[in-house]
Structure 1
């Protein structure tokens, strides 16, 4: 993969349910044990498909056996692959997004577009003052979308930064307005030693799977985002 490119692969897990056995065969022993601990079969299937597709994709990116890949886990539990590439995964029910780059700090988050109960209350409790003001300025018909734009962008940034969910959501701000380009607007001075300033980061939105929105964060500028879909043809 060329430097400066984030490639994001999307999958509808419902459409790939027939690949469960093939994906399970790629999992490590620990992953199989994790899958079998779920009490609901649908959750087991989702886990198997997520991890199997991640292994399949990274195996193709590296030319290595997907079943033989061994992941490292950082202090905050973020997985990585020794020798690269950089990657990050997100899912929302049956929608999956996997971002891959040759190197760098990247993050992705995907959510279903849906009504958000108590969106204002959640924002008032957890979001930055700049985001709260922007959300309150949106009409009721755009507020759920604005909330989800904020949420996915914030999650993608936190994941790319690699500092874990301990980063307070109200210590940095992203663009919330649906008609404005995605951007990181503010970072608290207490966070800058770990993550830098807003100009050090790039944010992107993509709407590939119907009814979903995804945000991608990458450290640095000049990034290009490419999107692909993992379907039954990809698995074969």
Structure 2
């Protein structure tokens, strides 16, 4: 099946497209999205003890299948995922992708190829942010956070968290990667960047200059980060809407970085 059948969901080189969705707007599609899932995905969904969490999993996974199907020119229900040693899913033959969620807010990053990662968090007050940073963050990140005015520290912490999670997911080393062995920028308003990678990680993750890091704020009261190995990347954002399900081209969203 060709790209034009799905409304031009082709993926230009060195371009990451990130689709954002509020799952509450997709509740009416729960039965149709559930029908796209594989048996093992249904089994995973049923492990949740709360119906709300089961439904979120179904909506996230079904949405991922529809989007990847559009980008790959394949039927969503036909997709079969591989899982690496750290459990990160991939699609044989591409495209590259990564999914993140924070309650009902979802971000799905897709690129023709490459190592990419995405994370999203709700902007909120974070209990014990200072303690978490003291215990887990790189010493330079902790110092930068403590230098912020108190009213900006929660935002700075969440910027750090999303950037670090996106980097970890793109690196593909696994979520057990030590958070204190690499550093990202944390100051609100400053460019997103990987600032340091300790020598212990360089064999797997490379050097800071090997990475690109971006912030995007698309859904209300959220911040998202996108990481990609290499330079020269462009990030485009989309909002999930009827276009995705009807096959029409999705309009690009203008969002501050």
TM-score, normalised relative to structure 1: 0.99
Distance 1:163 1:33 in 2: 26
1:113 lines up with 2:113 in the alignment: no
Q: Give the C-alpha shift of residue 233 in structure 1.
A: 4.2
Q: Which residue of 1 aligns with 2:78?
A: 68
Q: 1:34: how far off?
A: 1.3
Tell me if the contact between 1:16 and 1:232 (Cα under 8 Å) persists in the aligned partners.
no
Q: Does 1:129 align with 2:114?
A: no
Q: Which residue of 218, 225, 230 maps to 1:215?
A: 225
- The whole-number CA distance in structure 2 between the counterparts of 1:122 and 1:10 is 28
Instruction: List per-residue Cα deviations over 1:98-149 (Å, max 9, x = no partner).
Output: 0000000000000000000010000000000000000000011100000000
Report the counterpart of residue 22 of structure 2 in structure 1.
12
Contact 1:204 1:215 in 2 (8 A): yes
Output the CA distance in 2 between the equivalents of 1:53 and 1:80.
15
Please tell me whether the aligned partners of residues 109 and 156 of structure 1 are also in contact (alpha carbons under 8 angstroms).
yes
Q: Distance in 1 between matches of 2:196 and 2:49?
A: 42
1:171 aligns with 2:195: no
Aligned residue for 1:181, secondary structure, equals: coil
Aligned pair partner of 2:53 in 43, 46, 53: 43
Deviations 1:66-98 (A, max 9, x none): 001000000000000000000000000000000
5+ long unaligned stretches in structure 2: 1-10, 247-257
Question: CA RMSD of the aligned region, Å?
Answer: 0.7
SS of structure 2 residue aligned to 1:123? helix
Q: TM-score, normalised by structure 2?
A: 0.91
Q: Distance in 2 between matches of 1:198 and 1:167?
A: 16
How many residue pairs match? The answer is 236
Distance (Å, rounded) in 1 between the aligned partners of 2:30 and 2:175: 30
In structure 1, what is the equivalent of residue 197 of structure 2? 187
**Alignment partner, residue 206 of structure 1:** 216
Which residue of the other structure, out of 87, 96, 105, is the alignment partner of 2:97? Answer: 87
Cα separation, 1, equivalents of 2:216 and 2:91: 25
Provide the C-alpha distance between the structure 2 equivalents of 1:147 and 1:54, rounded to a whole number of angstroms.
Answer: 28
Residue equivalent to 2:253: none
Aligned equivalents of 1:194, 1:38: Cα separation in 2: 34
Aligned residue in 2 for 1:54: 64
- Runs of 4+ aligned structure 1 residues displaced above 6 Å come to none
Q: Separation in 2 of the partners of 1:220 and 1:11?
A: 27
SS at the partner of 1:165? coil
Report the alpha carbon displacement of residue 231 of structure 1 after superposing the two structures with TM.
2.2
